[in-house]
Amino acid sequence: MKLSFFAVITLSMISFKDSQLQHARVKEAYRSKEETVKSLFKTKHLQQDGFNLFIRAFKKEGKLEAWIKEKHNTNYTLLTTYDFCTTSGTAGPKRKEGDLQIPEGIYHINHFNPQSNFYLSLGINYPNASDKILSDRQKPGGEIYIHGNCVTIGCIPITDDKIKELYILAVEARNNGQEKIPVHIFPCRMDDSGMKSLEGHFAKPDLISFWNNLKDIYLDFEQTHLINPMTIDKTGRYVLTR
């Protein structure tokens, strides 16, 4: 059925949030968790109007952080932290389909799935440009999500209850005009203690180089609370350009 000119215009005027609220699970998430999300902002004395979202995850600790940048601010503030419900794989990046690894690297949300098999889910852009250089060229794997439920073969599950909150945050940020919600995934907190915990894997030179590269990104945010611009060079290395 062809839509009329006015129907097309009307559809184009529907906000991202409105389009998401047409789905039952998103509507339920807002019904049951919107006040919880508002209280998180109130507790941290943060304004909800026009915020940006940054997600940071640590595999060893099993923690996922949600950071907020207010509309008229340049720095991010930690809003809340969620626990991984379960995990899979070991320390080290995802490099091949079926390896069960949770990726490590610098990503962004590229898919909102309000009808996920795992309640609600937020897809990340794995394989990114770095992964395409460093991973298996034929079968690097894909379809990596932060989602509900409590099962995984390479994704990050945080339960149905908590994905409702994170999904609301992501919808609001996207509705505010944030086209790319950054997601940084690390093997651990890459401070001195965290790097020491990785020593057992340091016999692999490629991992040493990769993790030292990620450590640069980790420390840059720790020092500035800014998402500074970066590129990916021809070797797959992340390069800060500030």
- Residues with a catalytic annotation lie at 147, 155
Residue closest to 93 by CA, chosen among 203, 211, 235, 189: 211
Backbone φ/ψ region at 89: left (φ over 0), alpha (ψ -120 to 50), beta: left
Q: Which of 84, 83, 69, 80 is nearest to 40 (CA)?
A: 80
Burial of 207 (0-12, 13-18, 19+ CB in 10 A): middle
Question: Which two structure tokens, joined as six digits, stand for 116?
Answer: 């996920």
**β-bridge mates for residue 66, sequence order:** 55, 80
Match 């340049």 to its residue by tokens. 74
Contacts of 32 (CB under 8 A, 6+ apart): 164
Cis peptide before 103 (omega within 30 of 0): no
Half-sphere exposure (Cβ direction) of 223: Cα atoms closer than 13 Å: 9
Backbone angles phi, psi at 83, to 5 degrees: -85, 140
